Structure 1
């Protein structure tokens, strides 16, 4: 099979696409059939193409059929491109308007690199393993929850905002007016929303959190619906970036909607999760496509290990001062589920005390004015080449300024009365900083020799 550059207009969607229940007569019918499978998915794909271009890691596969270049693999991508070039191909006026608005926001690619197959049979093997699951490792091996979380943890506030809008669309699929505002914010004011939900105080008051590429909702849908409806109406309309730029302005906004914020008494025992990795009927990151693959690979629900129940459960410090060691041992008695507020405060306290103790014993003077500086100094000494994978989360959380669990989150747990720490956040922070504490103690032992 050879690679050729094709103009989008010269490509014809497959009228025998397995995604369609019956054969289609033309591109218009094929596009309508794709919208029937899930209009929001095709809209998101069109928007992603405008924002990031065509995925260079996956090529469209075509074959010549008479005077047509039929798309065998990549029909959704080609359909999205055709819509962006001609929104009138969409089956409803609402969809036409939305596609047209997306098309105006950037440059639409006109050509695609395609792989030309001689016939369907030649392409069959590659298409099958692309769409029927892992197939014992021959197909696409999906990331586990932890793998996806590690990757997604590097997301920017804007990317988190996009994920949040995906979650909201999933939670309230039938409220057209509400979703209209959600789409308006996503298309035109996504950075404003990102600035808003990057604030840990805002996330706590809304009852949402992020665990990698998973959105956690800590209240029932009905309890968050009023505030989310108001939030997206405001951001689609009168609220500009100048009104939520500072932390005080964001707090003022929350004060103005205090009456419709969810009440702590309504908090769920366990948060409900939304993941962008879940599609169709899938409900978790680990679900595998394909009936046979699902039967072969289905795993029992993982039981949470004991070390995740209490703070710094596996950490033992023998070279720090006696009081520092005592503080850690007392912190290790705190059950995260039972006392999330105390646990959250003690995560920051223990990390601060240990890094301060190490610096004092070793006589460090530079970068000791802030907690970020003290943690950074320890990281530099124990992992100067930044190659220790065990310290990657501690480095990311402590040295980056944007994200869900950065240092300002720890500060907020201590200093903000509006902050309501989530057990998943506290547990993740405890596990992230545990290797740092252990290696800091080992550094003291090494330096004292």
Structure 2
């Protein structure tokens, strides 16, 4: 551990704080803190001004020319806004921080002592031990279950077995361990911290039990390559620190033919899956209305959320957990329309789908669907649903979505909304996972 006096300008509020998961940038992280903890933030700012100091060193780790804050993001945020109130997310908060800055006794400091840790594994150990107490706003805030889950999904830490330990055992048995250096287990755990990443390399840790989801030989070959890249430091923690980094690395391996292919998938009894049709993601729900309280069923869809999909993630959570389908059908219908368009544009951008700037929603959706179909990610039935999206007389159509927003006489019903979601759910998930 090293305590260093660092310029405030070199400290970066963590856009991937485990309180909220990955957001787009530092500005978004600051806005989230005030959206979710405004009164706590105000109390903390007043306390800092009253005392003229912060009592605990922020925990930071170097990242290029900056230092990312891993613990103390609320304190650092208050200091940044006291230094420059214009960075506050609302006019009212800008006024508040100007008033607090005027109360500061003497010159405002531009350097602050921080605990600097270069080992990210040690950072996570510190975080794991700090966030277990109770707080009242001025001190550290306790992580709730969702925040702890985000931490475990990012780091691979938790009470269950370590995926890195399980992989190392199997590579050792197959005599495929790197010969010169040990595998950095913490980095491997981070890379394979969630089921969608593990499934891509051919394994699963559902229920805390290691399983092969693809042919063992093909999977071990992929794991051996990953072990080599990590142990040789060709790939380091900074390369796979966030979702985009993990996806980018796995995409690279897939492009090189290293990852198990669909033809390597195995059934639960361990036998190879025999099929004459291209493998694809199975439907998440039948295309029939179901009775539920929210539009999106509260289950795991296997999504990973990079910071660039911050708004997509927020809308998804509102539709999955917060908006009652029967009490708020108008709000749900509008957000469904927005989610479909945002997810579609994400896929068009990330997959490089060729569209014309004047193409309407239905045309863009059809072109994206054709791209998915050509990649064997959806079948003919799903493609037919997408093609019918252009037809105004269909329930699942662009015309229906537009009426949700623009027609004063078109009232969405929970049954129509669930039918639309169930018909398009698989495609929306694929759009978001690209």
Structure having the higher Rg = 1
Q: Scaled by the length of structure 2, what TM-score is found? A: 0.30
Q: Scaled by the length of structure 1, what TM-score is found? A: 0.29
